[in-house]
Amino acid sequence: MEHIKVAVSETAFIEFFNHIRDNLQIMESDSADLGPFVAGYEIDIRLKNGSVDLRDDNTVRIAELDIDPVIFRGFIGIDIPELCIGGFCIIPTPFGCLLRAPRLCIFDDSPDIGLDLDLAPFLRSEVSFIGGLRTVYFTDPDRPLGMDYIDAQSAGFQNKWQIFLDPESVDIDLFDFADIAGDLLEEALDTAIDTLLGFLPGWAKDLIRAIFGPLIDMVRAILDLPDDIGEWLSDVFGESLGLLNLIADSVITEFANKNSLFEFEDPFQILPASGGLIPVKVPISDLSVRVTDDEMIAKATIEA
């Protein structure tokens, strides 16, 4: 039978959850070749806000957890296609062109345009998940064999009972960029093109732009941009570069494996060491947890 019962109110549970949330950090960088361009990102994101709801079906629902990027740098590298002149037909015939003028291309070195975008102020993303509670008995793998619990306490190798919030699945409810992010991309492109062509006289730049069409259309053609650049940014970073999966997997890992909601030592200390006397610790077993609408209840047995 259980000897100990500890109940944590929803209010207190929220404090414990907030503690994990505030200490959670996802840092990652990655890049990929997406065909006509390469894209990459560097992120350092935290979580904030979110509502916590304990439910009678023994689950906890966390809703509308905002993803708060401290750093979200996006990188896009574009190859400018060749711009060629000439190649027109010199000797046409009814059967086609017999002879063409030579074709000369301007961007024969395929220069790159690199766009460095600070997207942190513009990202809006929300995460929700439902999770159960899971108990784990932790033994430090570095603890030497045969070490007693008193020496283990002194050396920091105590065994622990841990309670994890275990997300069953993570919903990315929202992942978009504010309208202004599209302007950011456009301005970055303008600047990059101007830098590339900077040495050319104005008429030459206008000619290149005229041949390529409007600047944004040129990039759209390369990047396959839709009208809504925000959507495109979401697709590139969220889907193609797998950022959505990364965020979801990180949330799962942080909550389910890395950061316990609660933990206590086993054996559990009743009286501290004093004046050379060893601490009095009692072994705890059969820890179980369950959630109701109002509280989390943990039960355990004190071993003889």
279-298 binders of another protein (CB under 8 A): 280-282, 292, 294-295, 297-298
Cβ contacts of 142 within 8 Å, gap of 6 or more: 157
- Residue 247 beta carbon to another protein: minimum distance, rounded to whole angstroms: 9
Task: Show contacts with another protein in window 77-136 (CB under 8 A).
Answer: 85-86, 88-91, 98-99, 101-102, 104-109, 111
Residues near another protein (CB under 8 A), total: 108
| Ranges within 212-251 binding another protein (CB under 8 A) | 212-217, 227-231, 234, 238, 244-245, 248-249
The position carrying tokens 């369950």 is 290
Q: Which is nearer to another protein, 33 or 228 (CB)?
A: 228
Q: Which of 48, 64, 211, 258 binds another protein (CB under 8 A)?
A: 211
Q: Taking the complex as a whole, how short is the minimal distance between the CB of residue 69 and another protein, in angstroms?
A: 16
Rounded to a whole number of angstroms, the minimum distance from the CB of residue 128 to another protein is 9
**Does the footprint of another protein cover residue 63 (CB under 8 A)?**
no
Which of 116, 171 has the CB closer to another protein?
A: 171
Residue 258 interacts with another protein (CB under 8 A): yes or no: no
d(CA 130, CA 255): 11
Region binding another protein by CB under 8 A among candidate stretches 37-45, 66-74, 138-146, 268-276: 268-276
Query: For residues 88 and 137, which CB has a smaller minimum distance to another protein in the complex?
Result: 88
Of 148-207, which residues contact another protein (CB under 8 A)? 148-150, 166-179, 182-183, 186, 190, 199-204, 206-207
Is there a cis peptide before residue 144, judged by omega within 30 degrees of 0?
no
3-state secondary structure of 245: helix
Please state the three-class secondary structure of 216-241 as a single string: HHHHHHHHCCCCCHHHHHHHHHHHHC
* 214, burial (CB in 10 Å: exposed 0-12, middle 13-18, buried 19+): exposed
Query: What phi, psi does 44 have (nearest 5°)?
Result: -140, 100
List the interface residues with another protein, window 19-58 (CB under 8 A). 19
The whole-angstrom distance between residue 41's C-alpha and the CA centroid of its chain comes to 10
Identify the residue whose tokens are 């304990």. 54
State the angle between helix axes of 215-223 and 179-196 in degrees (0 to 180), rounded to the nearest 10: 100
Phi, psi of 179 (to 5 degrees): -50, -40
